[in-house]
Amino acid sequence: MHVHPKLAGRSCYHKYEVEAGLFTPGQFLEVNPKLCLDELGVPQSLLGVRALDIGAWDGPFTFELERRGAQVTALDIQDPNVTVFNAVKEIKSSTAKYVRGSVYEGSPEELGVFDMVLFAGVYYHRKNPVLALQRIRRLLNDRGVLFIEGASSTDYLAQRLNSDLGLPESRMRVIGDILDRLPLSYFDFEDRIYPGGQNWWFPTTRCLEMILLDSGFRNVSLKLDLNGIYNYTHRRLMGRAEVNPANSDPGNQKDEHWVLEQDYPILSELATGRPRSAPGVARRLFWKLPPGLQRTARRVRRALRPSS
Q: Which of 151, 163, 237 is nearest to 201 (CA)?
A: 151
Does position 308 have pLDDT exceeding 70, yes or no? no
Q: What is the mean pLDDT of the chain?
A: 90
Same domain, yes or no, for 184 and 41? yes
Residue at which a domain ends, from 254, 270, 286: 254
**What is the number of structural domains in the chain?**
2
Does position 90 have pLDDT exceeding 60, yes or no? yes
Residue 200 lies in a domain: yes
Q: What's the confidence (pLDDT) of residue 264?
A: 64
Same domain, yes or no, for 207 and 275? no
| Boundaries of domain holding 267 | 258-304
Does position 108 have pLDDT exceeding 80, yes or no? yes
Residue 67 lies in a domain: yes
Same domain, yes or no, for 289 and 182? no
Same domain, yes or no, for 262 and 248? no
Same domain, yes or no, for 263 and 237? no
Same domain, yes or no, for 97 and 221? yes
Higher-scoring residue by pLDDT: 131, 276: 131
pLDDT tens-digit map of 247-287: 988 888 777 777 776 766 666 665 665 655 555 666 666 67
Residue 131 lies in a domain: yes
Q: Which of 60-64, 159-163, 291-295 has the highest mean pLDDT?
A: 60-64
Residue 137 lies in a domain: yes
User: pLDDT exceeding 90 applies to what percent of the chain?
Assistant: 76
Residue 70 lies in a domain: yes
Q: What's the confidence (pLDDT) of residue 17?
A: 97
Task: Give residue 105's Cα distance to chain centre.
Answer: 15
In the chain, the largest separation of any two C-alpha atoms, in whole Å, equals 88
Residue 263 lies in a domain: yes
Residue 84 lies in a domain: yes
Q: What's the confidence (pLDDT) of residue 278?
A: 56
Same domain, yes or no, for 274 and 237? no
pLDDT tens-digit map of 19-71: 999 999 999 999 999 999 999 999 999 999 999 999 999 999 999 999 999 99
Does position 135 have pLDDT exceeding 60, yes or no? yes
Same domain, yes or no, for 46 and 156? yes
Same domain, yes or no, for 177 and 269? no
Q: What's the confidence (pLDDT) of residue 283?
A: 66
Span 85-111, average pLDDT? 96
Span 197-222, average pLDDT? 96
Residue 140 lies in a domain: yes
Does position 199 have pLDDT exceeding 90, yes or no? yes
User: pLDDT exceeding 70 applies to what percent of the chain?
Assistant: 87
CA distance 187 to 194: 12
Same domain, yes or no, for 233 and 268? no
Q: Whats the size of the chain, residue-wise? A: 308
Q: What's the confidence (pLDDT) of residue 282?
A: 63
For residue 207, the domain's CATH number is 3.40.50.150
Q: What's the confidence (pLDDT) of residue 273?
A: 58
Same domain, yes or no, for 282 and 233? no
Q: What global pTM score does this model have?
A: 0.85
Same domain, yes or no, for 147 and 281? no
Residue at which a domain ends, from 234, 254, 274: 254
